[in-house]
Amino acid sequence: MSCGIGGSSCETPRRRGALVMLAAMTVIFVALSVFSFMKSRGQTTPDTITYGKYTADEGKRVFQAYNCMGCHTMVGNGAYLGPDLTGEYKRVGPAWLAAFLASAGGWPTTGAVRAQLLDPNQQADTGADSIDAYLKKFPDAAVQIERRGGKTTMMPNLPFSKDEIGQLIAYLKYTSAMNTEGWPPKVEVEGLDHRLQLAHGAAAAPAAPAAPAGAAPEPARAALDPAMQGAQLVKDNGCIACHATDEKRLVGPGWGGLYNSKVHLADGSTVTADDAYLRESILKPNAKIVAGYPASVMPAYDSLLKEDQVNAIVAYLHTLEKQ
């Protein structure tokens, strides 16, 4: 007997075939589900990653609270205004991240990263106790400093506390440890600088004009003028990423008209911003916290700056008269 149109003799084999296919698909689905949870895949979990006392789970909540995905991608998901952050910890390390997150409006300088290396969490996490050792371990951080150090960014300064910065670093440490199985794909940028120069019609940068014969070299003049030396020091150490040279509020108070002004502190007292106060604020910034600003965000520079360098920065602050 053959299966004709509308014949009932073919219904049973077809039904059996459908049931067999359904059973096979169910087995495959269950097997893949079990496989996705197997530890043998080498996948790490947030509860196993810490940075000092901070956990990746805490950092994920901070990442979500500040809507970082509104500008950045993570494992290729999110917005594309900023770079993908999946492997950022592995590329630039925690000291660069700590320097950047504290004042995201400016790219970190060598001095700013070196200041972060005083944190015991940094040394325990990286095993590097000097800026040279750190940059050798994280060469991408060295490239970032060389190309962008001291320049402004498109990212706003966010009011991160010290704990939130540590939590975010723990989260980025976790995302760098994830097995993304090759996703997102790596962007090839070989020869990018040369292509950009050709696109702008400038394959070679024009030579700088020669200085007049009678003019003193800039470094020599700066060495003679403490205020000029101080201006260079605040750039080299990334201070202007957190402090404006006028009265504008950034991460920290503005410097415009600060010298000899009355400063209101978090404990309710008032102090005059004289030389002694300015030196103490540079060397031990947590000694007197200005009202309305978080504590423990600025690193201490007592082991990073020499006495003459501190005096030069204070001399520079003298020049920032209130307009």
The CATH number for 273's domain is 1.10.760.10
In a domain, 244, yes or no: yes
- What's the start-to-end Cα distance of the chain, in Å? 104
Domain with 151 in it: 46-177
- pLDDT means per 10 residues, the chain with 323 residues, are 58 85 94 75 82 95 95 90 92 96 94 92 89 95 94 92 96 92 68 63 50 49 78 92 91 93 94 95 94 91 93 94 61
Count of CB atoms within 10 A of residue 110's CB? 20
Same domain, 121 and 61: yes
> What is the pLDDT, as a whole number, of residue 213?
45
For 177-225, write each residue's pLDDT tens digit. 988 877 777 666 566 666 666 666 655 444 444 444 444 455 555 556 8
Helix (H) or strand (E) holding 51, with range, is: strand 50-51
Domain membership flag for residue 91 = yes
Q: What is the pLDDT of residue 315?
A: 94
| pLDDT for the residue numbered 185 | 72
Let me know: does 91 contact 155? Beta carbons within 8 Å: no
The pLDDT score that the predictor gives to residue 201 is 62
Instruction: Kindly state whether residue 28 falls inside one of the protein's structural domains.
Output: no
Residues 224 and 312 in one domain: yes
Give the pLDDT of residue 210: 47
